[in-house]
A and B are shown apart, each in its own frame.
Chain A
Amino acid sequence: DAGVIQSPRHEVTEMGQEVTLRCKPISGHDYLFWYRQTMMRGLELLIYFNNNVPIDDSGMPEDRFSAKMPNASFSTLKIQPSEPRDSAVYFCASRVQGSYEQYFGPGTRLTVT
């Protein structure tokens, strides 16, 4: 049974470029979460979806960040334009309705130069 899948695993880009991170949740899971991990702030929730609908985006740092979930098996987190301070590891997680346990993907390590 495949876990949460994220791509790419590593991304290096120049300041000002658009970055798109991708996530495929575990099949059958109703909730999808995007987290960011930095040395300064630790692991923090950016946004989460329930049944493809964004529920809480209060953790999205600014308008340069946007997230979509066009269907139950795919979500994107986009940064446009990217800045060096966006460098971090971005995790996607999912869980199923009725259980609070979240399962995390391997993460995408983003470096903006």
Chain B
Amino acid sequence: GIQVEQSPPDLILQEGANSTLRCNFSDSVNNLQWFHQNPWGQLINLFYIPSGTKQNGRLSATTVATERYSLLYISSSQTTDSGVYFCAAQNAGGTSYGKLTFGQGTILTVHP
């Protein structure tokens, strides 16, 4: 099946700093999603972005499908951005239709 790798594994920022999280995937995808898991454990949909670029407030994401990676940008970070960020991908073909494979996550800590 598809492999999904995220980097860095953890990141510590001062409030106001910018950051970039990376997600590499091993095969062509028809689905690429970014999630934020908050301290209460809820998985919040950030972006559905199998290709191209999207922006939502201080967050933006870019997926370069031909090079098999996606980036999540967080600008002017706030303490409420803390948590774990997951990338998940679905293979465009093969036998894993319907299956989202998650990366191991990036743990982000933003200090005031």
Contact = CB atoms under 8 A, between A and B. Distances in A.
Interface residues on B, range: 20 to 34
Contact of A91 (B43, B98, B101, B105): B43
Interface residues on A, range: 20 to 34
Contacts, number: 48
Interface of A is mostly: strand
Contacts of A89: 41
Given A48-B99, A100-B50, A43 B86 contact: yes
A100 B48 contact: yes
Contact of A101 (B33, B41, B105): B33
Interface in A70-113: 89, 91, 93, 99-104, 106-107, 109
Interface of B: 30-31, 33, 35, 41-43, 45, 48, 50, 86, 88, 90, 98-105
